[in-house]
Amino acid sequence: MIKKLITASFVALMGVAAAHAGSISVSSLNAAGDGGRLVVDSSGTLLPVGSGTWIVGTTALSDDAIKAANVSNDFAPILADFKVFGTSTAIPEFAGLATADVQGNAPLAAGDGFVGNNIYVAIAKGAGTSASDEFLLYKSSEVFGEDGAIPFSSSANLDSPGDALLLGSLGGDVASPELGISLPSLVLAGAGGGPVVPEPSAALLLLSGLGSMVFIRRRR
């Protein structure tokens, strides 16, 4: 049922590609189209239609280096290394439901930085990476291949991410007003998603207060 609802979205998002340029279908639905995950920001709010930036590409960073950003919320190294494939798009038709056919801007060839490398899918909360402080990054087991007489094509589904979700986290069920059902969620990492570290002055006041309490109790 869900798959039928989003068919029009896939068709509408497909642009005119360069000759022999490949394409990658990405979705937060499962391959059967009868389930999947909804994308929410770090506060648990569904990404509205027309918002967010849905990006496909690759990176040479290690999994551990990317996962570290879940704690630090420092996405600069990831953004600096990320090599973008095709043109990014926004949430198309249903809040929180990420679906797109990403078309390459030029044919893929050996040595171009894509071929042979894993396909990564990134979602930013804002309109473009520079306008966002919340991100999700999924590493697909699929790799980029060369374009030939038949253009390269592949797909990446984020419905069962497991260890492949390097940046962001798995969340609980969220209701979709448009679809009339609830689905588990993918939560963007970012503001509000990392550990709270007290200011040095606040930490000193806290330690000072604890010390005073211990001293008073000992005197009693």
pTM above 0.85, yes or no: no
CA–CA separation, 106 vs 99, rounded Å? 22
The pLDDT of residue 151: 92
The pLDDT mean for the chain works out to: 79
**DSSP symbols for 62-126:** -HHHHHTHHHH---HHHHHH-EEEEEEE---SSTT--EEEEEPSS---TTSSSBTSEEEEEEESS
Name the residue with tokens 């996405």. 75
| Contact indicator for 51, 125 with CB cutoff of 8 Å | yes
Q: pLDDT: is 67 or 32 the higher one? A: 67
| Contact indicator for 49, 92 with CB cutoff of 8 Å | yes
pLDDT tens sequence across 129-146: 777 899 999 999 999 999
Report how many helices (DSSP H) and strands (DSSP E) the chain contains, helices first: 5, 12
pLDDT tens sequence across 58-73: 999 999 999 999 999 9
Residue 202: what are its φ and ψ, rounded to 5°? Answer: -65, -40
pLDDT tens sequence across 89-118: 888 788 898 888 898 988 999 999 999 999
Spatial CB neighbours of 42, under 8 Å, sequence gap ≥ 6: 134, 187, 188, 189, 190, 191, 192, 193
Measure Cα distances from 16 to 91, 151, 164 in Å.
20, 14, 31
The pLDDT of residue 42: 92
